[in-house]
Amino acid sequence: MLPVEGFVISPQANGERTRMSKYKTESKAACPVRKTSIGGQALMEGIMMRGPRLTAMAVRNPRGEIVLEKFPTSSGKRPWPWRVPVIRGIFNFADSMIFGYRCLMRSAEISGLEDAEEEMRREKAGRRAARETAKKGTPLAATGDSNAEAIPPADAAPEDTAPAAQPDAKAAPEQSVAETPAHGKDGGKDKKTSPLMLAVTVVSIVLALALAIGLFIIVPTWLYETLAAHVDWLDADNRYTKSIFTGILKIILLVGYMAAVSLMKDIRRTFRYHGAEHKTIFCYEAGLPLTVENVRIQRRFHPRCGTSFLILMVLVSILVGFFIPPTLYAGNRIVNTLLYSGIRILLVPVIVGLGYELIKFCGRHDNWLTRIIAAPGLALQHITVFEPDDSMIECAIAAVREVIPEDGSDAW
């Protein structure tokens, strides 16, 4: 099965609609590159890939077709301070969080996840209404039946829109291109809801950061302070012991959190798309044609993975902690914990910038030093990167083909 067949090409608000050419994409895929700056992210039922000029999302809709959206990458418009080492890592981290969250929400729309959740809510409401009317007696039971029958028409939209895509699939098997009606409706709402979506995105990210700060900075510091007050061999005034101990706690929390979420069915499936993303990048870097067969045999653990970045940030934070005085206020343990955590929070941008430079260095070079640096992240990827199936690989290929520049400007 060729990954260029059976695609639904849909426009983004600021993007463009394209018909994929099988011959064009094959020629682009054959360009060998030793190392590439192209990176991506696993989405709900799809993949997002970011190149130096274009960003593409390939997501499967409820009918199993691949919806492809592409739009310009914003990296070319950055002012010069954001290209300075360490500082650029701060910018890229913030940009990746905001942009990645928006792509994740968009993929949920395309894949029908939001519609499925809405349908479940309607079904629960219908069953609840039926139970309530049944309790009230026979005269109202008929009303309960009518309410139960009123739910399917609201959920019948996918059945109404499905036939619209069938004629195109039969008429042009080599380039099946159709626009999903649901996306056509959304196209009119994008401009009206974009400020609201931006606000929701910002609030969600702020809440996520607050949770991360509390879980990975304040809790380990407070726990160490508490244990040091009751355990003789723990020295509360030793900056090295404190930084290493809190760092180990962060690693335990991070691994435990990753392992817990990987048990969820939907998250585990997203982690399989994560594997498809890595394998496709490896295939492209090897200079092989981007086919399902070539991608399938590649490694699934990549040194530039976001999982590796997280573990590197923890390790860098341990080193940075060696320079922070362990006791800032001896009069009160809680006050000291808050002050110490406050300094840690202020140093987060520095840690992010240093972690970014390390992950970039490991992505560009392959030697004994980079293998040592990348080892913890590669080990943690056993929890967050799973083996994909062929349909997931097709999504990754579709996305990466669209962002490969003709002039090879993605080469490192």
Contact of 318 with 247, CB cutoff 8 Å: yes
Q: Where are the domains of the chain?
A: 7-23+31-403
DSSP assignment letter at 367: S
Residues of the chain with pLDDT under 50: 1-30, 138-193
268's enclosing H/E stretch is helix 265-285
Phi/psi region, residue 45 (left: phi>0; alpha: psi -120 to 50; beta: rest), is: left
What pTM value is reported for the model? 0.72
Give the per-residue pLDDT at 117: 57
Contact of 52 with 409, CB cutoff 8 Å: yes
Q: Which residues contact 340 (CB under 8 A, 6 or more apart)?
A: 221, 324, 326, 328
Give the per-residue pLDDT at 284: 94
Give the per-residue pLDDT at 76: 55
Let me know how many helices (H) and strands (E) the chain has, helices first.
Answer: 16, 5
pLDDT, tens only, 47-84: 999 998 899 999 999 998 999 999 888 755 677 777 88
At 40 the three-state DSSP class reads strand
d(CA 378, CA 382): 7
Give the per-residue pLDDT at 115: 60
At 67 the three-state DSSP class reads strand
Give the per-residue pLDDT at 23: 32
Give the per-residue pLDDT at 256: 94
The interaxial angle of helices 390-403 and 265-285, nearest 10 deg, is: 50
At 7 the three-state DSSP class reads strand
Half-sphere exposure of 318 (CA within 13 A, CB side): 15
Contact of 327 with 61, CB cutoff 8 Å: no
Q: Nearest to residue 312, comparing CAs of 268, 249, 393, 374?
A: 374
